[in-house]
Chains A and B, each alone.
Chain A
């Protein structure tokens, strides 16, 4: 079993839709949770960074962490064509090793 599981999609939504992206994990020691966005042929860029359980909002993006269920989510409101990318979840314990999901490919159709 992988440490982090993420549905690869692909996910296709119309412009303006609310997008929900999810990851599950098996290691209860994970404390830090991140979402990265990766455009084609580019390196990942950090979108959201959350410590422990709870919600964090940044503009159109909301990250949720439910440690009891070992489940994290990223919501994108009013999705735009420019949001079309692969979204990677990542998490770690207290050390420096990050564990990434395989990524979900998202296409927002104008």
Chain B
């Protein structure tokens, strides 16, 4: 158990809908990273937050947004969902410095029908 929690574990929704994925980092970690993992693309970095502020941005679509709250938990919002958004979404946490390890949560499996 990495100490990172993600809810929900599974999410099934329809195209065009909006969903929110939640992540609670390990105690003491200031940084949260979001990743998307699909079979054909592998693990893709989406975005990083550090102590409430956006730190780095990867291949995140404009339909997706994230935020980190004062208690350091983070939410990833996915809107106007498409079939291709079906994937595993992982959250990782760490101290936020590049040399520090990222600890991954168990992931949220999103299925868009």
Q: A-side interface residues toward B, CB under 8 Å? A: 6, 32, 41-46, 49, 88, 90, 92, 94-103
B107 pairs with A46, CB closer than 8 A: no
A45 pairs with B104, CB closer than 8 A: yes
Q: Which residue of A lies closest to B105 (CB)?
A: A43
A-B pair count, CB < 8 Å, reads 57
- B102-113 interface mask toward A, CB cutoff 8 Å, 1 = contact, 0 = none? 111111000000
B43 pairs with A97, CB closer than 8 A: no
Within 8 A of A (CB), among B10-52: 33, 35, 40-45, 48
Q: B-side interface residues toward A, CB under 8 Å? A: 2, 4, 33, 35, 40-45, 48, 55-56, 58, 90, 92, 96, 98-99, 101-107
B107 pairs with A103, CB closer than 8 A: no
**Complex Cα–Cα for A103 and B42 (A):** 7
By secondary structure, the A interface counts as loop
**Complex Cα–Cα for A99 and B35 (A):** 11
* Other-chain contact of B42, A32, A45, A95, A101 (Cβ < 8 Å): A101
**Complex Cα–Cα for A92 and B107 (A):** 22
- Kindly list chain A residues whose C-beta atoms are within 8 Å of the C-beta of B96: 96
- Kindly list chain A residues whose C-beta atoms are within 8 Å of the C-beta of B44: 100
Q: Which residue of B lies closest to A103 (CB)?
A: B42
- Kindly list chain B residues whose C-beta atoms are within 8 Å of the C-beta of A92: 98
A100 pairs with B2, CB closer than 8 A: no
- Kindly list chain B residues whose C-beta atoms are within 8 Å of the C-beta of A99: 45
**Complex Cα–Cα for A102 and B39 (A):** 8
Nearest-Cβ distance from residue A47 to partner chain B, whole angstroms: 11
* Other-chain contact of B90, A44, A101, A103 (Cβ < 8 Å): A44
* Other-chain contact of B104, A43, A96, A97 (Cβ < 8 Å): A43
